[in-house]
Amino acid sequence: MTFTSTKTLADKVRQDFPILHQEIHGKPLVYLDNAATSQKPLAVLNAWRDYYDQYNSNVHRGAHFLSAKATDAYEAARDKITKFINAKSRQEIVYTRNASEAINLVAYSWGMNNLQPGDEIILSVMEHHSNIVPWQFVAQKTGAILKFVELTPEETFDLEQFKQLISDKTKMVSIVHVSNTLGCINPVKEIAEIAHRYGAKFLMDACQSVPHMPIDVQAIDCDWLVASGHKMCAPTGIGFLYGKLELLEAMPPFFGGGEMIAEVYLDHSTYAELPHKFEAGTPAIGEAIALGAAIDYLTNIGMDKIHAYEAELTAYLFEQLGQIPQIRIYGPKPDAHGEGRAALAAFTAEGVHANDLATLLDQEGVAIRSGHHCTQPLHRHLGLAGTARASLSFYNTREEIDVFIKALKDTLDFFASVFAE
């Protein structure tokens, strides 16, 4: 398909997303809740449907045509993930239901078997609950100690405090790459380097970065990376864990059942080779195939182009929000080109609850998120009950930001008039 150079990236791709062309409450939908989940292009929906329509069968378990075709498509998606994040080997990619399951896999399989009383696990106050609760379980069971990196005055990861916090007792560092609330982009390569200097492992939560920028696990040198498909144009119920081969080889299985075994006897079992020893039971085959289609879709656009366009949107969003004096945005400011933070803005409005804002914006067709965004400790750290969050993707437009800003101003004017009575 050929497009004129004057069209934006969003203009070129919006036709691929039927959901974006509907009306909500009689108003055109403006979907600005992409940090919660992305929309799915037709190529992904068709790949998922084609599996069930044309070659639905279980994988790895049959010699017949349908099983072979399903297995080929399922494993081809693994190869696409491998290339997408520049892993060394396809054996380093483990399918999971989501990033939460991937973190739990590492916490239970590695953490429970390697941490001792007094060992330290370093997280940050900005972590998603999925990167806190599993480590709490591990700490309670092993006697390990949780420590937390706090924020700089600019509300970013305090690297200097991290350098003071880490010690020879630190065995695990688990940090988000991009905060889903603050929007800050954490210095993961430097974090990995410091962690390894002290003999610690580094897990990177890449849920908010993999869909928006190029990721190279070898360059970052993370020991594990987790991501969720539904945030990167794939269906729900599928995600993946990347782990360095030698670490995954040394880790025992997390779940037991079919698929993850080599031989089963009444008194013991032996386990399949990587990555299958971590993939018990019938997997989410259609979802994995659709994840592969999503990676094809993103790759065909180009992650560099996606990142550059979203940076342009970020600059415009912050320019417009900056003209509303009642708004307080959390996290670092972008530069003039929109670089230096993610394409999202979590904010509060003086005297107006975030849920009320989101409810009234919904009446104007604008979908944003309100609440704590699964970062209760961060909101508590900031002294907030919740925030409103607008988050962008490559299929959003400046015109949609204009609709959002007008609706936000009208909503704030409405509340101001109510309070004045």
Neighbours of 414 (CB within 10 A): 13
Which two structure tokens, joined as six digits, stand for 192?
A: 């990995």
- 207 within 8 A of 129, measured Cβ to Cβ: no
Q: Helix, strand, coil shares of the chain as percentages rounded to 5?
A: 45, 20, 40
How far is 250 from 244, CA to CA, in rounded Å?
A: 10
Those residues whose C-beta lies under 8 Å from the C-beta of residue 280, and which sit 6 or more positions away, are: 253, 254, 255, 256, 257, 258, 259, 260
Tokens of 156: 């970013």
- 252 phi and psi angles, rounded to 5 deg: -75, 160
Q: Is 374 a catalytic residue?
A: yes
> Phi and psi dihedrals of 166, rounded to 5?
-75, 145
Interatomic CA distance for residues 399 and 100, integer angstroms: 35
- Encoding tokens for residue 362? 């919904």
Active-site entry in 184, 222, 233, 374: 374
Give dist(CA 123, CA 146) in Å, integer: 7
Whole-number Cα distances in Å, 133 to 127, 255, 382, 408: 10, 19, 20, 35
| 55 Cβ neighbours under 8 A, 6+ residues apart | 65, 66, 69, 70, 73
Q: How far apart are CA 323 and CA 172, in angstroms?
A: 43
CB 269 within 8 A of CB 259: no
Q: How far is the CA of 79 from the CAs of 92, 98, 289, 374, 394, in angstroms?
A: 10, 18, 11, 31, 24
* Nearest of 175, 166, 52, 186 to residue 120 by alpha carbon: 166
Ramachandran area for residue 364 (φ above 0: left; ψ -120 to 50: alpha; else beta): alpha
Q: Please identify every residue annotated as catalytic.
A: 374
